[in-house]
């Protein structure tokens, strides 16, 4: 039996890639569950890299579930948002007018019902919109790591009102890494060190290498499974892990930037984005890594160790790269695309807090984003 609606959460979604589309699917499929909880998520706008689709009346109505489903289908097929015009009471705005419409919507709803601006894109370009939403008292939910890993002033601005921002899915997909770290910090228990395998992609790559497969084959499979960033070199170069490490380091109070992180790339510069396209890398570049990686795996195995791609955050800053670890260690036992994070503090000095679970995939990440949205429901009241 549905409960009376106690919280209505208007949402504008930025980003219609894999995570964004899965999020819309989750919102639709979870309607019966949310109804039982007295919660209603009202999607009033969806944007991609070129345009924004907005409901005619953001105050009292959003997109119906049929339109949300059609948006997912259209974007999966590579069609523009403009192809959805006429399927519901909505308007289309092209960039740069779309950005202004996001701020207008934040201004209007920020003064009345409130708004959750959800960023599932993979760009730095949303920073201005996110800061504008914060200025208008709106909430922000991030799967996109980049707004939190640019200028420190942007990070500080976005997290200045911690009640209104959630970014659990920026580190560890749906795992409660951010929540655990912030709870420990809030308790007055100083965190001395965080060590972890923070990339589901590289966790998968490392365990498959351990089984004797070639890295070129593994990377292609990982991309087909949706484990990688659009360009797998974002994972193989360690930048995705470095961004996650930077977010955690900044949460610990370190005023550092990406340039301060020592990152070991798994590919040389001659195979980088400046030298070849993503398709060329997948077709002819990554195979050049097979021999050297096989040698590193063999060298580690002769010592009874395994290779893992590790991020460590301590008092000396943040380091990211390959390490040889004992097979029976928490990180050494890691298999597949799971993430493992060890948190050391005064209370967890000799026996760290260990967080482990699925750390990759659009579905898992989208579920984490939806949980973050629902976590804000107490800030929203029932609207007519």
117/132 Cα distance (integer angstroms): 10
Instruction: List alpha helices for 226-289, DSSP H.
Output: 233-236, 239-251, 278-280
Q: Is 168 annotated as a binding residue?
A: no
Question: Is 30 flagged in the annotation as binding?
Answer: no
**Residue 131 among known ligand-binding residues:** no
95 annotated ligand-binding residue: no
What residues contact residue 209 under an 8 Å CB cut-off, 6+ apart?
A: 215, 218, 293, 297, 307
**259 in a known ligand binding site:** no
User: Which one of the listed residues 244, 303, 327, 382 is annotated catalytic?
Assistant: 244
Question: 3-state SS of 31-65?
Answer: HHHHHHCCEEEEEEEEECCCEEEEECCCCCCCCCH
Calculate the CA 13 to chain-centre distance: 14
From 228, 108, 171, select the one nearest 117 (Cα to Cα): 108
Residue 374 is encoded by which pair of tokens? 């629902």
Per the annotation, the verdict on 213 as an active-site residue is no
Q: Return d(Cα 236, Cα 264) in angstroms, integer.
A: 9
CA angle 275, 272, 49 (to 5 degrees): 95
97 is written with which tokens? 């007018």
203 C-beta neighbours (distance < 10 Å), count: 25
Distance in angstroms (rounded) separating the CA atoms of residues 339 and 168 = 14
Tokens of 366: 């989208």
Report which of 240, 176, 180 is spatially closest to residue 205, judged by C-alpha positions.
240
Asked if residue 20 belongs to a known ligand binding site, the reply is yes
Residues forming the annotated binding site for NADPH?
145
Residues forming the annotated binding site?
15-20, 145, 229
Residues forming the annotated binding site for L-homoserine?
229
Residues forming the annotated binding site for NADP(+)?
15-20
Which residues belong to the active site? 244
């Amino acid at each position: 039996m549905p409960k009376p609606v106690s919280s209505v959460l208007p949402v504008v979604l930025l980003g219609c890639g894999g995570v964004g589309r899965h999020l819309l699917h989750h919102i639709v499929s979870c309607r019966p569950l949310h109804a039982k909880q007295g919660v209603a998520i009202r999607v009033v706008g969806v944007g991609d890299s070129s345009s924004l689709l907005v409901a005619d009346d953001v105050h009292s109505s959003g997109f119906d579930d049929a339109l949300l489903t059609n948006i997912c289908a259209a974007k999966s097929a590579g069609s523009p948002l403009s192809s959805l015009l006429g399927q519901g009471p909505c308007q289309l705005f092209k960039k740069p007018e779309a950005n202004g419409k996001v701020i207008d919507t934040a201004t209007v709803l920020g003064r009345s019902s409130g708004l959750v601006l959800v960023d599932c894109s993979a760009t730095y370009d949303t920073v201005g919109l996110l800061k504008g939403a914060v200025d208008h008292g709106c909430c922000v939910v991030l799967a996109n790591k980049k707004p939190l890993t640019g200028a420190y002033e942007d990070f500080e601005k976005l997290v200045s009102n911690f009640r209104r921002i959630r970014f659990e899915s920026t580190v560890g997909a749906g795992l409660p890494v951010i929540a655990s770290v912030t709870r420990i910090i809030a308790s007055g228990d100083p965190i001395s060190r965080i060590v972890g395998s923070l990339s589901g992609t590289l966790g998968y790559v490392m365990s498959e290498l351990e089984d004797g497969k070639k890295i070129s084959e593994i990377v292609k499979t990982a991309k087909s499974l949706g484990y990688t960033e659009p360009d797998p070199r974002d994972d193989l170069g360690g930048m995705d892990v470095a961004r996650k490490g930077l977010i955690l380091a900044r949460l610990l109070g370190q005023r550092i930037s990406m340039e301060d992180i020592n990152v070991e790339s798994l590919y040389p510069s001659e195979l980088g984005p400046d030298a070849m396209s993503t398709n060329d890398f997948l077709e002819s570049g990554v195979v050049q890594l097979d021999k050297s990686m096989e040698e590193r795996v063999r060298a580690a195995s002769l010592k009874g160790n395994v290779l893992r791609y590790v991020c460590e955050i301590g008092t000396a800053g943040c380091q990211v790269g390959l390490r040889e670890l004992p097979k029976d260690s928490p990180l050494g036992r890691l298999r597949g695309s799971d993430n493992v994070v060890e948190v050391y503090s005064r209370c967890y000095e000799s026996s760290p807090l260990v967080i482990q679970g699925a750390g990759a995939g659009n579905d898992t990440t989208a579920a984490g984003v939806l949980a973050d949205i629902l976590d804000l429901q107490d800030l929203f009241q029932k609207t007519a």
